[in-house]
Each structure stands twice: as structure tokens, then as C-alpha cells.
Amino acid sequence: MQKQLEALKGISDPEKWDKFFEKFAPGNSLTLKDQSYARYIGYLDILNKIRKFDIDTYNLAHKGTPYYLMAWIQGDMWNFHKAMLFLSMAIEEDRRKDKENFKNNPAYKLLTLQSDSGTVTRLYEKLKEPVEELLKRFENNTDISLGGVYVDYWKNIVEKTTTTWNDKNVSLIITLAYWLSQYTEYSVISRLCINTGSSANLLQSHLREGSLIFESFCRVLFPDINNIGDAFNNKMTRTFGEDFLPKDANIQTDFFDKTNNASSMKDIAKFVSGNPNTSGMVTSFWVSYALRNLTSHDITDGIDDDEYTKYFNFLSTAIFRLIYEIVK
């Protein structure tokens, strides 16, 4: 390997680096998951060796292919946080190589669910499944039609959110993709785990991430707000219609005060069960806002076995309703 590294010193040529990684990297199996952890460690080892050999050469080298393979391998291990991290790194490497045409490469096509490029089918399906399920559920919850082809709508979400390609927008869409992709596994965990301790922390951390995504999309839709409360006070009714709030409702006493007074998951559950006539959309927004406040200060409160899925549904409905307004 040392001889090949010497020959590549100071070179960024993607084709030459692809040949290097073909020769020395472990790759992945097309047909089945096979030694995923060992393959991942193999890629880390090779990248570290390049970096130790010469940091400038490491920075110059095109690493889109190994990052893409590492995303695939992490998907095989059901580690979607790292999978999306390496996928975003692969996209950035492709963009560094060619800002005009990077969207034609496999990594971006995977993020937008337009193609598995004939290789990363397992990761593609793991991303596609929750996106389709949750967009369909959103249609059922809101009576809003997204046009039927959910992967095309997802591509629209990605492209509209990242119209201005910068770290903030790309991070938001990558975080959304990661958060959605965890749903299938966490919904199973929520039914199996005991409702205390580390299980509560894991599930509430995931809900908290969703509440932060909700707040971030509020800021995309309403870029002039100082905080999420401004969106509720001044923007929501105007944007979503006069029926956004129940008739004769007072946004301060019926929503903000109750949100600020929610000190446990039981308080949130009590609000939901105690307001059966409140529209599902209003409840989704309220729960998302309440979770944002509550889980930012305490993620140790217990969650009943059916509550994680219920709250996730509220969060995803509120997030997709904001997104629908952004991309329409």
C-alpha cells in the first residue's frame, strides 16, 4: 500500500483513488449482509492510514466511494445515524469534485430515493419503507393528497429544502432522513422495553430530535421568527386557516400556558385525552411544541408502551404539514 500512496501523493483524481480503494478496501456484498463490522473497520483503517501518510493528500483525495460504501455497511448494521453521516459525506465529496453534476451520482440518488444504483438495495429499502409509510399516514391524517408517488414527493422535499445548498439546509434534510429511518426499529423497541431508565432515555431522545426538526422547519417556513412561540402567535392561523385553532380557543391559556406547565409525559397524554374535539392537526402541533420544551430539560420520564408511536405520529404529522407548506 505504501508504494501506491507514494504514487498518489498530492493527487485528487477520483478514478485513480477509486482504483486504489478497489484494490485495498473490503467493499461490501451485493447479495447478503456479510461481516459488516469487519468491513467497516477495514474502511476506517485504510482512511486513517492515508491520513497518517499525508494529511494534505488525504484532504485532496476523492473519498466519495468509500464514504458511500460505509453508509451502505452502516445500514446493514441498522446504524442509521452513521449511515446518513457517511452518505452526506459522500455527497459532499461528489459535490467537491463537480458542483454542477454531483446530483447524478449514486449518493445523491440514494438520498432522494430515486435509485439504489443496482448496489445499495438493502439501505435503499430501509430508507424508503418508513418514508412511504409515514407520508401515507400523513395523507390519511390530514386529507391532503401528495400525488401518490411518495418517493417523488420525498425527492421534492430534499430538493426544495436544499435549493440553497449550505451546511444548515443539508444538515436538516439528513437529520430528517435519519430520524424517519429509525422509526421502524424504535417502534418495536418501544413495545419490548421496560418503561423506565435507559429505554425511556432512548425513546425520548428520539422524540426530542423530532421536536427539534419540527422547530427547524418552522424556521424555514417562517424565517423572520425569533422563536417557535412567534410562529404559533403570529403565523400559524394565517398560514393554515382560521380553523387551525378550535372555536373560541385562546392561544395563550389553551396552548402556551398548558405547554409551559407540562412537566411530564403524563401531562402531555392528559392534554391529548382531555381535548378530544381538538383537530388532529392542532394536537400534532401542540404535542410537538410541548415535547420540544419538555424533552429539552428532562429525557428520563417514562413512556407507556403505546405512547412512543402515538407521539411520533403527532411529530411526523406536524413536520410534514410544515414541509407541505414549504414545497407546494
Q: What is the pLDDT of residues 7-27, one digit of tens each?
A: 999 999 999 999 999 999 998
Same domain, 169 and 208: no
Query: Do 162 and 116 share a domain, yes or no?
Result: yes
Whether 102 and 91 have beta carbons less than 8 Å apart is answered as yes
Classify the C-alpha dihedral 275-280-284-286 as positive or negative.
negative
Domain count, the chain: 2
Instruction: Tell whether 276 and 288 lie within a shared domain.
Output: yes
Are residues 52 and 100 part of one domain?
yes
Strands, E assignment, the chain: none
- Give the pLDDT band (50/70/90) at residue 161: confident
| Domain co-membership, 124 together with 205 | no
Residues 130 and 200 in one domain: no
**Residue 156 belongs to domain spanning:** 2-179
Give the mean model confidence (pLDDT) for residues 162-189: 87
Q: What is the pTM of this model?
A: 0.87
Judge if 142 and 49 occupy the same domain.
Answer: yes
Q: Which pLDDT belongs to residue 281?
A: 75
Q: Are residues 144 and 110 in the same domain?
A: yes
Domain final residue, candidates 179, 204, 234: 179
182, 80 contact by CB (below 8 A):
yes
pLDDT at 40: 95
Q: Are 147 and 140 in contact (CB under 8 A)?
A: no
Same domain flag for 173 and 197: no
For 32-48, what is the mean pLDDT? 93
| Domain final residue, candidates 179, 211, 242 | 179
Q: Could you give the CA distance from residue 154 to residue 42 in angstroms, rounded to a whole number?
A: 33
Judgement on whether residues 198 and 161 belong to the same structural domain of the protein: no
* Same domain assignment for residues 222 and 295: yes
Kindly state whether residues 219 and 312 are assigned to the same domain.
Answer: yes
Q: Which of 156, 179, 202 is the last residue of a domain?
A: 179
